Structure 1
């Protein structure tokens, strides 16, 4: 048996070592990356810019700030970039006067890791699971209760939340007002919101509330986790503090060049959303036809599933692994437990390979 557990999905490099294979033979459903791959316009720009890596990157990121300010309708002084969303999350945890970090369970592990790196206590709030609808939702009343009784928390909300895909759907401003009154920072992690569109983002609240922060990954939708680039939006005082906490040249030249072009690649953006809409419906339907699985209907490009307890998730993961298919073990997330796993939504051909492998495992 090979040891496959990782803090995150996407460790294809470990897989090729253990399986003695090549990168192009790995079918990675453990990382939630755009099923179309990179933007062709962005990729062409990277190829043209390769010779420029003999120079330091532009520390001012002038073009990137101009483009994103217009696209996101956000003043430049309210935007910061980092080496992926994770670097920004860690920097946010260093904001002054924070007494604790309030995180969703299940939720992205880097919220807690960022807190621990600063010596801050972590308080988890468990999402509500409805067994009848087989879905998670945010426990707004519990959150309001906890946040009314505390001060100076860093409050993380995944929108959508990873790994369950739960969206923040509350239109009430009560949470915003409670956080403002009690000195809490309200951080929306929108690393996957581009798969849905601007209408789902909370970034307009940045202009109204000095304590609202939005984290925005560019590696998921634009398919460049290996280049590393993320953004955040907040009031200028928060932005200036964050910039003081991250190194110079934190975003490399190729990541800047790629992002400038990919963010403006309208055809790529529209095609991604159209293809994803069809593929996530198809994959959800096919998985739900298997009696041994229950799945949460996906909001974006990943799906949280539960394997019937007559089966061993470790065994299923191993069987798929030896077929060079990687899925994400979610059994260690608080609020989940045994036999929960996550799969990305990929192309039709790749999704069909996953379905075939699972049917073979269940002998359907």
Structure 2
């Protein structure tokens, strides 16, 4: 197939794209290339303190939340980890790299891939890694559920990836980012990449107990975050309307897409708390013709067949801006 410009529904970023203030300030940010950045990534401390009232002692700045996914299994010396399937590939890859055994937990389509029954799966593990919202299913756990599990099983580390929290259906009620949610065995990963549409700048944080955060910092080299990335943070803090607009757009489009597609006999569509949908293509010819036709129509969908725990013609698509979603709806109908 010859190269052509496509609308990329395979990447789950903010539908609004780069914040305007950051775009217009980019020429100024280039000046940061001529200086060493703060060795500890201090600009992120201000970001999380301002938005989430989190203290520096409970924060580890990250070069994208993916860094935390790979740091934690090694730091904690994890031995056997419960990982929900289907799930983000790097959870398992990070644990295997650390020498940990994986206890796979198959989420059930009959329950729309919810986390029902999680507590029954905890026997014999020293950690749980899952997303809330979870990729690729879009399902979440309420903070009260997670905090109760933390109290009931103090010997288990609960590692919760909230990379999509500000792209979710209810960021305030689903978020674990706040001093009231701190627990000795709870780790929360957060990314600025997705909610601000900044995958190239690599910004995120790990929230955890102060003693362990201090120990982790002592193991890491300085200057892990670039100057341009840290210089962008004040512009993000100054753009007080951007995340509100993201929430409003996603709320409208999430509802519209589900309403238009849920009754489509060719699709099995999973309700979502996130900024993406998981769907199965039901016709017997399988997924390849759909993906090929989508590319020919200028649309890129995420092939879901390489997610462990998904059997059949599953694919994922992001919720984008209204005009882009119109193109997808026209194609899928």
Structure 1-normalised TM-score?
A: 0.84
Say whether residues 1:188 and 2:160 are aligned partners.
yes
Partner of 1:362: none
Query: Which residue of 2 is the match for residue 55 of structure 1?
Result: 35
Q: Secondary structure at the match of 1:125?
A: strand
Matches of 1:96 and 1:276 in 2, distance apart? 36
Question: Given the alignment, which residue of 119, 124, 128 partners 1:144?
Answer: 119
The CA distance in 1 between the partners of 2:220 and 2:23, in whole Å, is 27
Give deviations 1:95-117, integer Å, cap 9, x for gaps: 23321221111111110011111
Higher RCO (C-alpha under 8 Å, 6+ residues apart): 2
Q: Is the 8 A contact 2:143 2:175 kept in 1?
A: no
3-state SS of paired residue (2:241)? helix
- Which one of 13, 36, 44 corresponds to residue 24 of structure 2? 44
What is the CA–CA distance in structure 1 between the aligned matches of 2:182 and 2:291, rounded to whole Å?
46
Among 87, 101, 117, the residue aligned to 1:121: 101
Q: CA RMSD in A?
A: 2.1
Q: CA deviation at 1:26?
A: 2.2
2:135 corresponds to: 162
| Whole-Å separation in 2 of the counterparts to 1:53 and 1:29 | 32
Q: In 2, are the aligned partners of 1:106 and 1:127 still within 8 Å (CA)?
A: yes
Equivalent residues of 1:80, 1:231 under 8 A apart: yes
Equivalent-residue separation in structure 2 for 1:207 and 1:170 (angstroms) = 8
Cα distance in 2 for residues equivalent to 1:247 and 1:20: 41
Which residue does 1:339 correspond to in 2?
A: 313
Whether contact under 8 Å (1:203, 1:214) holds in the other structure is yes
What are the within-5 Å matches in structure 2 for residues 1-364 of structure 1? 19-21=2-4, 25-130=5-110, 135-140=112-117, 143-147=118-122, 149-150=123-124, 153-169=126-142, 171-172=144-145, 173-180=147-154, 183-195=155-167, 196-204=170-178, 208-359=182-333
| CA distance in 2 between partners of 1:285 and 1:41 (Å) | 34
Q: Which runs of 5+ in 1 are unaligned?
A: 3-18, 360-364
Tell me how far apart the structure 2 counterparts of residues 187 and 295 of structure 1 sit (CA, whole Å): 28
Q: Deviations over 1:39-77 (max 9, x none)?
A: 122333333111221222221333331231131111111
